[in-house]
Amino acid sequence: MSCPCVEAGCLWFERLSLRHGPLLSASLYGGGGGYQSSPFPGESVIRMRGLPYSATETDIVQFFAGFQMLAVLPSTAPINGRPSGEAYVEFASPDEAQRAYIARNRATMGHRYVELFHATKAEMMAAAAGHDPRTAWRAHG
């Protein structure tokens, strides 16, 4: 299934069926460049917080226009039936995640500013499965 292509350069996203929402996996996303000494050692995932509750995957793609993204989880599992205002984005490399963080942390989407945080692929997948990624480790330990 394809998402609407946007000006940002999205070629296509594959929608993966998950328990509490879609995880979009990009085949190729425009952008590039690198950044030295990444504080994202071995991880290339960013958690977004403060999104408008109406934010869509297209809004997130546009927010990170010019960066190489591999996957977007547009909305984490709603809490008590309400959207969380959080999302996850996986970038092509830890350096690309660092570059996106530096350029877009505390930037605005609509009338809200969005905070960005380092995250892990495991946290992203826990959120995609409908678990709170901050406490998911307790179920396995």
Convert the pLDDT of each residue in 94-122 to its tens digit. 999 999 999 999 999 999 999 999 999 99
Predicted pLDDT at 117: 96
CATH code of residue 34: 3.30.70.330
User: DSSP labels for 82-133?
Assistant: B--SEEEEEESSHHHHHHHHHHHTT-EETTEE-EEEEE-HHHHHHHHTTS-T
Q: Is residue 60 situated within a structural domain?
A: yes
Give a yes or no: residue 52 inside a domain. Answer: yes
The answer to whether position 136 is within a domain reads no
- What are the CA-CA distances from residue 12 to residues 50, 91, 98, 133 (Å)? 26, 15, 24, 27
Note the pLDDT tens digit of each residue in 22-75: 455 443 334 444 333 445 667 999 999 999 988 999 999 999 999 999 999 987
pLDDT value at residue 129 = 84
Domain range for 88: 12-131
Looking at residue 51, what is its pLDDT? 95
Whether residue 77 is contained in a domain is answered as yes
Query: pTM, whole model, 2 decimals?
Result: 0.70
Question: Is residue 63 in a domain?
Answer: yes
How many separate domains does the chain show? 1
Inside any domain, residue 96: yes
Name which residue leads in pLDDT, 128 or 31. 128
Higher-confidence residue of 43 and 14: namely 43
- Rounded mean pLDDT, 16-25: 44
Does 61 fall in a domain?
yes
Amino acid at 93: S
Flag whether 3 is in a domain: no
